[in-house]
């Protein structure tokens, strides 16, 4: 399967723990985007990265959230000291080229906070 791969598919954390979500883009794609989908809401943009660079993080909460896309390996979305309000589905998308190329999505990580 050459699609966008996200893992884990489900993640359960207790309040105060850290959550790490991983995303491997489609083969040949070097642009990665993270979106969050809250219950009964649409997808909200969080961050756009290229290899080793954060291009646009205008949708990221100012605290506790960070993202990286290292030279080798998957992109990581990291949430520190999770709270109940972080419970959501987190989706990663990738594209082949500049910002307005079509974005293809993975099946998401569903994060539940106890």
Partner 1 sequence: QKEVEQDPGPLSVPEGAIVSLNCTYSNSAFQYFMWYRQYSRKGPELLMYTYSSGNKEDGRFTAQVDKSSKYISLFIRDSQPSDSATYLCAMSDSSSNTGKLIFGQGTTLQVKP
Neighbours of 49 (CB within 10 A): 24
| Cβ 26 to partner 1 shortest distance, Å | 12
With b for 16 or more beta-carbon neighbours within 10 A and e for fewer, the 52-61 pattern comes to eeeeebeebe
Neighbours of 41 (CB within 10 A): 9
Q: Closer CB to partner 1, residue 33 or residue 79?
A: 33
| Cβ 54 to partner 1 shortest distance, Å | 11
Q: Closer CB to partner 1, residue 13 or residue 105?
A: 105
| Cβ 36 to partner 1 shortest distance, Å | 11
Residues that bind partner 1 (CB under 8 A): 4, 6, 31, 33, 35, 41-45, 48, 55-56, 58-59, 91, 93, 95, 98-108, 110
Polymer length in residues for the chain? 114
How far apart CA 73 and CA 71 sit, in angstroms, is 7
Q: Closer CB to partner 1, residue 81 or residue 101?
A: 101
């Amino acid at each position: 399967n050459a699609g966008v791969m996200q893992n884990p598919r489900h993640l359960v954390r207790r309040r105060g723990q850290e959550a790490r979500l991983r995303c491997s883009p489609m083969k040949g794609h070097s642009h990665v985007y993270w979106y969050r989908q809250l219950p009964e809401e649409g997808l909200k943009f969080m961050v756009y990265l290229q290899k080793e660079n954060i291009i646009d993080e205008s949708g990221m909460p100012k605290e506790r959230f960070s993202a990286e896309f290292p030279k080798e390996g998957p992109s990581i979305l990291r949430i520190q000291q999770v709270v109940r309000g972080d419970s959501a589905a987190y989706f990663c998308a990738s594209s082949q080229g500049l910002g307005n190329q079509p974005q293809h999505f993975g099946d998401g990580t569903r994060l539940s906070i106890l």
